Structure 1
C-alpha cells in the first residue's frame, strides 16, 4: 500500500519540492499511526539539517488527523478513530506531510472539537512555543507587562492570547499597522508599527520580551526591558550566543537582564490544555491558507513569503 507525500530533495541552499509516493508506515511497539487530514508548513524547516538526515526527506511537524491504528504495546488514552493533533519530533523516517504518519504517544493529543482539521494542523508548534516561552522560560507573573515582536505571526498570536488570557498581562505588540485592529481585539493594550525607525524608544519598563523575529529587532528589544527583566527569543537567524556559544553584546549595558533562546519541545500536555481553551472560546485559532496535496509546491512558496495572511496548511483529506 502506498500514500501521497511531499518530498524535499537537494540541499538547504538548492532544494526541490515534489509530490511523490511512499509506502504506508506500520506502527510498532507503542506507535500511533495517524491518517493525516492536514499538515502545517514551517518554512524554516528547509534550512534544518535533520530534514536532510531523514531517509524519506518528507517534511512536516504539525499535523491533524484521525488515529488509524495502534502499535501492539500501546496502552494510553488514545483510541482508533480519535481525532488528534500533534507536533512530531524530527524523525529519521518521515515527517507529517503525507497521508499517513507514525507518532509517539507523548506527541499526540485529541484535537479541539470546535475547529476543523485544517485549523488544528496550524497550531501545534505555535501553541507549544508560546506555552514554553511564557510558562517555563519567562515564568510570567500575573499582570506582567510584556512586549511581543512579530505579534501577528502564528507564534505571536498564540503568545498574545495565552499571556492575556492566562496571566492577564499588559501586552505591547510589534506588528504591521494592518494587523493592529485584530491584535487589539485579542487584548493587546498597545500596538506599535515595526516600520518606525526608533520604535524601541516608544516602549519601556517591560517585564518580559517574547521575540519571534530575531536580528536587529531582537537587539532593539534590550532597551525596552526592565533592568531585571527577561528576553525570550525563538527568532531567526539564531543569535550568535545561542546554545552556550557566548553572551549577548547587549549585556554590557544591561547586565541584569536574563536572556533565553530555545527550540520548542514536542509534547502532548500543553496541546491538551490549549484544546480545552479553544473549545471553551477562551483562545481562538489562527488564520490559515489551505492548499491541496497536489499544490504542495505552491504551498511551500506561499509559506516562505513575508507578510502572508495566514499559515500555510496542506490538506490531504477534505473535512
Structure 2
C-alpha cells in the first residue's frame, strides 16, 4: 500500500512516499479503515513516539470507510460505514497510508455533512478544544474566556464551542487579517497578538485557553481572574508540564488553576462533535487537499505560518466528496 514514512530522526526528519508497506489485518477488537484522507499535524515530526514505531508512518487524523473488523469487535460499526478517527500517538502505524488500524474508542461515524477531506482535518483540533473546555476548565455557561492562537486549528474550535455552546464571551488573539473571520465564528473581541499591551486590554477572564505557549502564555496570566484557570496545549510545553515544577506566576496568582494536557482519544466525544458539525453549530476547518503523490509539498505547506487551510492528503482511487 502507499504510505508516508518519516525516516532519519527528529533533528533531521526525511519525509518520503513508499508503496511497499503491507496492508494491515485487524486483530481482536481492531478496526481496519480504508483511508480516503489524512490530516497533517506538522509538529508530529518532533514527537518521540513516531520514531519508536516499526514503519514510521505519521498521521493521527483520518477519514474513510470501515474495510474490516477484528474477530472480537462487538461495537456498532459495520463494514462500509463512513468514519473519522483520531489514532493514538503511540499507535503502531499512523494514518497517512491507504489502510490504517484503529481501536473502537478512536473511531466514530463521519459527519454526513462533511467531505472526507474536511473530516480528516478535524479530530485532533476539535477533540482538543472539547477536552480543554469540558474536562479541564469545566467551563460554565456565560463565562469569559481568552483564546490565544485563535486563528489556528485548535483555536478556531475553541472559539466556536465556547461561544456557540456555552454563550461565552470570547476574546481571541490573532493576526489582524484573521479578525473578521473570528468574529464571524463567535468571538466577541479579537486583539492583535503582536500588540505590546494586549494583556492590559483584557481582565478577569474565567479561563485562558492557550495554544501558543512561551511569552504569550506568560502574559496571559495577567488576564485571568483570582480563581480562574489556565489550560495550555502549547508545543513545546511549558517548563512546568508533566509535573516539572510550578509556574513562576503563582507568586502573584496563587489561586489560579494551571493545566497542561495531552489529548486522549474518545469515540463518545467524536460522536458529540460530529452531531454539532451536522447541525451547523460548529463550522469545519478550511482544508487544502494534496494527492498522495504530492506528500512532500503537503508537509511543507503544513509547516508554514499563516497558511490558508489545513493540509490534508488524499489517497489514490478514492474521491473526496
Shared fold by TM > 0.5? yes
Runs of 4+ in 1 over 6 A off after TM superposition: none
Q: Residues 179-190 of structure 1 correspond to what in structure 2 (within 5 A)?
A: 179-190=178-189
Q: Residues 165-314 of structure 1 correspond to what in structure 2 (within 5 A)?
A: 165-314=164-313
Alpha-carbon separation, structure 1, partners of 2:250 and 2:290: 44
1:302/1:114 CA distance change after superposition, 3 Å: same
Deviation at 1:47, TM superposition (A): 0.4
Greater Cα shift, 193-202 or 120-129: 193-202
CA offset digits 1:229-269 (Å, max 9, x no partner): 10000012210000111000111111111100000001111
Alpha-carbon separation, structure 1, partners of 2:161 and 2:178: 18
CA offset digits 1:113-146 (Å, max 9, x no partner): 0010000000000111001000011000110000
Alpha-carbon separation, structure 1, partners of 2:294 and 2:200: 44
Deviation at 1:165, TM superposition (A): 1.6
CA offset digits 1:275-301 (Å, max 9, x no partner): 111111111101111111011111111
Show the counterpart of 2:59: 60
Are residue 122 (structure 1) and residue 121 (structure 2) matched?
A: yes
Show the counterpart of 2:8: 10
Show the counterpart of 1:76: 75
Alpha-carbon separation, structure 1, partners of 2:106 and 2:61: 10
- What secondary structure, in the 3-state scheme, does the structure 2 residue paired with 1:222 have? helix
Alpha-carbon separation, structure 1, partners of 2:215 and 2:81: 44
TM-score where L is the length of structure 2: 0.97
Deviation at 1:92, TM superposition (A): 5.1
Deviation at 1:90, TM superposition (A): 2.5
Deviation at 1:318, TM superposition (A): 2.2
Q: Residues 101-112 of structure 1 correspond to what in structure 2 (within 5 A)?
A: 101-112=100-111
CA offset digits 1:15-45 (Å, max 9, x no partner): 1000002100001111100000000011111
CA offset digits 1:52-71 (Å, max 9, x no partner): 00001000000000000111
C-alpha contact (below 8 Å) 1:171/1:188 kept by paired residues:
yes
Alpha-carbon separation, structure 2, partners of 1:204 and 1:249: 20
C-alpha contact (below 8 Å) 1:215/1:236 kept by paired residues:
no
Alpha-carbon separation, structure 2, partners of 1:90 and 1:191: 33
In structure 2, list runs of 5 or more residues that go unmatched. Answer: none
What is the root-mean-square deviation of aligned Cα atoms in Å? 0.8
CA offset digits 1:178-201 (Å, max 9, x no partner): 111111111111010111112111
Alpha-carbon separation, structure 2, partners of 1:53 and 1:236: 20
Show the counterpart of 1:24: 23
Deviation at 1:75, TM superposition (A): 1.2
